[in-house]
């Protein structure tokens, strides 16, 4: 398993909101305790909402706030996109301003961390390509609201591509990483897909109903479901 994929797997474990000891995480992922410490430092430095420390354990936090503002996921997405785009502009003054704004946002985010801020709004390793998925966000959000199926081309961890029809159920934001929870007709099960790995997306005319076993509530209720990854 590559390191970016292991980091993504860690996010899926932590998103249940419970405290997880480092040794437990190491055992579940088959890596050393030192590797877990390094990975958790990387996640925290990359802006993923995780709190904890060595010897005590780690847990994900849900708060997304900028005092005195409370941001919705949509507002945070817009802010993230804007800073990311400007941060890659050709105008050096605009790039500098974007990085300065990013640092200021980092300074007031509620995560309790001791590491130096690492430019929240400008994607960095391990999710440096997360902005690739922004083009699909409006269609995914609209399909969730309308209960409309999507046809996507998805790039797996090994680089292979699959065409699949999905029922989008939820959008989540983890630091610089956006994911969508779906019922996948190809896999005949729930998957958590990285939005930046969707290479093509088409909105289909078919609508879907809340069928038992295929609803977001069913996904949440499944034991260990928050760790399901796409392949």
pLDDT in tens, 203-219: 999 999 888 999 988 88
Among 60, 86, 109, where does a domain finish? Answer: 60
pLDDT-wise least confident of 33-42, 83-92, 176-185: 83-92
Does residue 7 fall inside a structural domain?
yes
CA-derived radius of gyration, the chain: 18
pLDDT at position 118: 42
Q: Output the CA–CA distances (angstroms, integers) from residue 58 to 48, 50, 95, in the order listed.
A: 12, 7, 34
Is 153 inside a domain boundary?
A: yes
Residues 134 and 221 placed together within one structural domain of the fold? yes
Residue 47, domain member (yes or no) = yes
Q: Last residue of a domain, which of 44, 60, 76?
A: 60
Mean pLDDT value of segment 184-188: 93
- Domain tally, the chain: 2
| Residue-wise pLDDT tens digits, 132-173 | 677 788 899 889 989 999 999 999 888 899 999 999 998 877
CATH number at residue 175: 2.30.30
The verdict on residue 201 lying in a domain is yes
Q: Which tens digit of pLDDT belongs to each residue from 102-111?
A: 766 665 554 4
Tell me, what DSSP letter sits at residue 26?
H
96 burial type by CB count under 10 A (0-12 exposed, 13-18 middle, 19+ buried) = exposed
> What domain range is 174 assigned to?
130-227
Domain assignment of residue 101, yes or no: no
């Amino acid at each position: 398993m590559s390191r970016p994929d292991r980091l993504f797997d860690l996010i899926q474990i932590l998103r249940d909101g419970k405290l997880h000891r480092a040794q437990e995480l190491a055992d579940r992922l088959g890596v050393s305790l030192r590797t877990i410490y390094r990975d958790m430092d990387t996640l925290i430095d990359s802006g993923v909402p995780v709190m904890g420390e060595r010897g005590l354990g780690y847990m994900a936090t849900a708060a997304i706030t900028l005092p005195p503002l409370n941001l919705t996921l949509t507002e945070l997405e817009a802010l993230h996109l804007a800073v990311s785009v400007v941060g890659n502009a050709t105008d050096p003054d605009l790039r500098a301003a974007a990085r300065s704004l990013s640092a200021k946002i980092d300074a007031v985010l509620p995560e309790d961390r001791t590491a130096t801020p690492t430019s929240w709004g400008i994607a960095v390793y391990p999710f440096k390509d997360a902005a690739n998925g922004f083009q699909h966000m409006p269609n995914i959000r609209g399909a969730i609201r309308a209960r409309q199926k999507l046809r996507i081309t998805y790039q797996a961890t090994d680089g292979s591509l699959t065409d699949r029809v999905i029922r989008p159920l939820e959008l989540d934001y983890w630091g610089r990483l956006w994911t969508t929870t779906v019922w996948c007709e190809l896999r005949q099960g729930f998957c958590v897909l990285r939005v930046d790995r969707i290479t093509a997306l088409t909105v289909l005319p078919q609508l879907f109903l809340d069928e038992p076993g295929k609803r977001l509530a069913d996904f949440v209720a499944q034991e260990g479901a928050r760790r399901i990854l796409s392949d």
